[in-house]
A = this chain, B = another copy of it.
Amino acid sequence: MARAGLNTERLTRAGAELADEVGFDQVTVSALARRFDVKVASLYSHVASSQDLKTRIALFALDELAGRAAEALAGRSGKQALAAFAGVYRDYARDHPGRYAATQLRLDPETAAASAGRRHTELARAILRGYDLAEPEHTHAVRLLGSVVHGYLSLELGGAFSHSAPAPEQSWPRIVDALDALLRNWPAS
């Protein structure tokens, strides 16, 4: 009987692709087994559970996205950096909706601590170096930045903007402009 050559990493990657195709919450051990033309039970040698599989996909996506963001930030600062950073997230969410959804999976504390989550925060914090914010405001600004980007993409992917003009494409650059303006004019506390 020919072997399929499964392993945890291949399953994780295939799971990410599957997520992009059918949606992250449709990712199932069964569906993944079908994709490899293998019986369901066979996957359990490589992933502990359905939850484990999803967690691996989430960590994979978080890492991949952090990598792209870091690349986009290299050599840029100020509004350029801001726009590039936001653009990477948006492109990722559009090109890989399932993986993007995976990044929102709630992770338990230790897993989260070991994830690329912190890298995302650090990257956002790096953008602030191009603006003149007092140190104690950095955390708030990072959270705002993350909220806007994540909120926008989440609403856009959810179709919240698709039933009113103008198209989301028109709003996005204005949102980036607004964020830039806000960071240049951060209110005193």
Residues of A in contact with B (beta carbons under 8 Å apart) = 25, 104, 106-107, 109, 112-113, 117, 121, 137, 139-141, 143-144, 146-152, 154-155, 158-161, 163-166, 168, 170-171, 174-175, 177-178, 180-182, 185-187, 189
B112 touches A163 (CB 8 A): yes
A178 touches B147 (CB 8 A): no
A174 and B178 CA atoms in complex are apart in Å by 17
Interfacial chain B residues near A160, Cβ < 8 Å = 117, 146
Interfacial chain B residues near A163, Cβ < 8 Å = 109, 112-113
Query: Known contacts A140-B175, A178-B186: does B155 contact A146 (CB below 8 Å)?
Result: yes
A96 and B36 CA atoms in complex are apart in Å by 41
Query: Known contacts A117-B160, A146-B151, A151-B150: does B174 contact A185 (CB below 8 Å)?
Result: no
Interfacial chain B residues near A155, Cβ < 8 Å = 143, 146-147, 150
